[in-house]
Structure 1
């Protein structure tokens, strides 16, 4: 796992072989956006300590959606440090293991990529302490706004920090090689609409579940990429 600074003293990316998570810092209070795959809890704790911080200050883990490369370590981390786990109301039953993960509708070129992603260990059932809804404001980042962004999965969310100009887009948007609609969507047309909604927030920093964060011309890049997506499935 690689630890990459995105914003000094505020934001770091935790990059795994497949996917990534983000650590937001309010002083010594910590919030994790997604949690990597199962078995990565110790690596995440080591990364936190390497920044001179304590995993005991991990207050919450916000899950952007239910896929195994995003929720895998959440239950272990929350169990060790008492962090609260948050997910959208529609996603919570999947995260808890009460209903199956929704199957994506794959394009032909997505099939080998999807099979490669399944090499990540399956996530264990994970508790959800708080079910969130669109528009809720969470107590970090000077007011973190939940943005329901369905399409990748029904309960996918983005997290917007308007006071800092930061957007966590989950897998609705990808930044691998180019900024584009994320892959493996259950509803591609709905995902496109969510892409446009997130782009309309015009962040100065955009963080993706896959691919490097945008830290320069983020708003213009997102707008251009969103508008280039066709409006039909």
Structure 2
């Protein structure tokens, strides 16, 4: 599996690294205190996440905490494996905790995927992600909630931004002193099912509440960030506000 790393030197010894793969992305925040890992792909991506950490000069033992945008398998799967392996805590939006602990499940199941079968790209996507563990229901039993709107006492000082809709407790994270937005699946720049490029919404069928997810995008139009680090698709240097407006206009 291939990966591409886009690195941003934030200054004062702080770095942001957006790791892009064909199917899903994760983000590494690194400073003198260690590494914060935001999302970690499918279960089958766990070793690739470790590779990416080593590629930026770190070690998995330096991960202080994991942050979770939402508990879909392609974001929590690798995180669950690595948190179990290396013993770091996992934090997410307070509403998403129950989903992360698998007290409830809000992800596309076989019937949802079947409804997308008319799209040729959906079938090829499914064939590609099956070996990565797309059907896994693994969660993080001790996931914890954190407050929104304040810098977390973690490497990179990320700030949780509630962006509910894709899941009930979906969250984005401001990084690089607010210049960057790790947008999870609330705002993406590509997906194998859509085949589109540029700022866009996740394809229909993947959102838990499509209308609420649109409201989250409206919230992004008030941000001053100029670095977009999405959960799917490549990193973009773009006004996040304008990117959100573009995605909304496509509906």
TM superposition score normalised by structure 2: 0.79
2:47 counterpart (42, 46, 51): 42
Q: How does 1:127-138 map to 2 (within 5 A)?
A: 127-138=141-152
1:37, distance to aligned residue in structure 2 (A): 0.7
1:173 counterpart (176, 187, 191): 187
**CA, structure 1 residues 180+17, in 2 after alignment: closer, same or farther (shift >3 Å)?**
closer
Query: 1:100-132 CA deviation, whole Å, 9 max, x = no partner?
Result: 235599799955466635634124132344212
Q: Is 2:208 the partner of 1:186?
A: yes
RMSD across aligned positions (CA): 2.8
**Bigger fraction of residues in helix:** 2
1:139 counterpart (153, 175, 183): 153
User: Structure with the greater relative contact order (CA < 8 A, sep ≥ 6): 1 or 2?
Assistant: 2
Q: Is 2:58 the partner of 1:53?
A: yes
1:227, distance to aligned residue in structure 2 (A): 5.5
User: How far apart, CA to CA, are the structure 2 residues paired with 1:212 and 1:16?
Assistant: 8
2:73 counterpart (68, 72, 85): 68
**1:161: which partner in 2?**
175
TM superposition score normalised by structure 1: 0.85
**1:198: which partner in 2?**
220
User: How far apart, CA to CA, are the structure 1 residues paired with 2:116 and 2:223?
Assistant: 28
**CA, structure 1 residues 178+153, in 2 after alignment: closer, same or farther (shift >3 Å)?**
same
Unaligned runs of 5+ in 2: 191-196
1:224, distance to aligned residue in structure 2 (A): 3.6
Count of residues in Structure 1 that have an aligned counterpart in Structure 2: 229
**2:29: which partner in 1?**
24
User: How far apart, CA to CA, are the structure 1 residues paired with 2:87 and 2:37?
Assistant: 13
Select between 46-55 and 118-127 the one with higher mean Cα deviation.
118-127
User: How far apart, CA to CA, are the structure 1 residues paired with 2:49 and 2:244?
Assistant: 33
Aligned 8 A contact 1:29 1:58 in 2 = yes
1:31, distance to aligned residue in structure 2 (A): 0.8
User: How far apart, CA to CA, are the structure 2 residues paired with 1:41 and 1:106?
Assistant: 26
Query: 1:165-221 CA deviation, whole Å, 9 max, x = no partner?
Result: 111110001102021122321211111110111231121101111111111x32453
SS in 1 for 2:184: coil
Unaligned runs of 5+ in 1: none
**1:125: which partner in 2?**
139
